[in-house]
Amino acid sequence: MPDNAARHPNLSHTVMTELVLPQHTNAYGTCFGGTILSWVDIAAGVCAGRHAGTTAVTVAFDDVHFILPIRLGDIVNISARVCHVGRTSMEIRVDVWRERYGGPREHANTAYVVFVAVDSDGKPVAVPPLIIDNDVDRGSFAESSERRVVRMTKAQRVGKTEA
């Protein structure tokens, strides 16, 4: 059973580095968006699992905007941090930075991904509360609360359409 004592986001902060190889690129030499999303999902999943202390599954991906192209040979730095928790869900902010050897790190995109902690039967389980002790995390938490309302409205709409 996971320990449900409140946890600071620094404890689950996850950093991942990838190198863009030929198998990651399209005919134009830029990285497939789907490949970047899979890296985002992995980094966010590790972050969520670290916070929850148990398995967590992806339940929602917010809009993702690819601001800068990521090219063959680029280093991709991915940073994932918990910015909100509900009872069983966690919203993870993921920032992606591209880098060339000797060059600056440039912000390529940001994604918000929601995970739900589950037990061995796939049923949602409670996650530890989030310790928020600074203005940046406080601001993120407040913005996440607004996104959660919008997201759940959309989720209900999708559920009704597909039923």
Residue of closest CB approach to ligand COA: 86
Binding residue (CB under 6 A) for ligand COA from 5, 63, 122, 162? 122
SS3 readout for 148-161: HHHHHHHHHHHHHH
The residues in 77-116 that bind ligand COA, with binding defined as CB under 6 A, are 86-89, 114, 116
- 7 or 151, CB closer to ligand COA? 151
Edge-to-edge order in the sheet of strand 75-85: 14-19, 75-85, 89-99, 105-117, 56-61
Minimum distance, C-beta of residue 106 to ligand COA, in the bound complex (Å): 30
For ligand COA, which residue of 40, 60, 70, 76 counts as binding (CB under 6 A)? 60
Give me the amino acid identity at 71.
Answer: R
Q: Which long-range contacts (CB under 8 A, 24 or more apart) does 22-27 make?
A: 22/72, 24/72, 25/71, 25/72
Question: Is the Cβ of residue 70 or residue 92 nearer to ligand COA in the bound state?
Answer: 92
Residue 78 CB, shortest distance to ligand COA, in Å, is 17
Select from 24, 81, 98, 151 the one that contacts ligand COA (CB under 6 A): 151
Binding site for ligand COA (CB under 6 A): 57-60, 86-89, 114, 116, 118, 122, 124, 151-152, 155
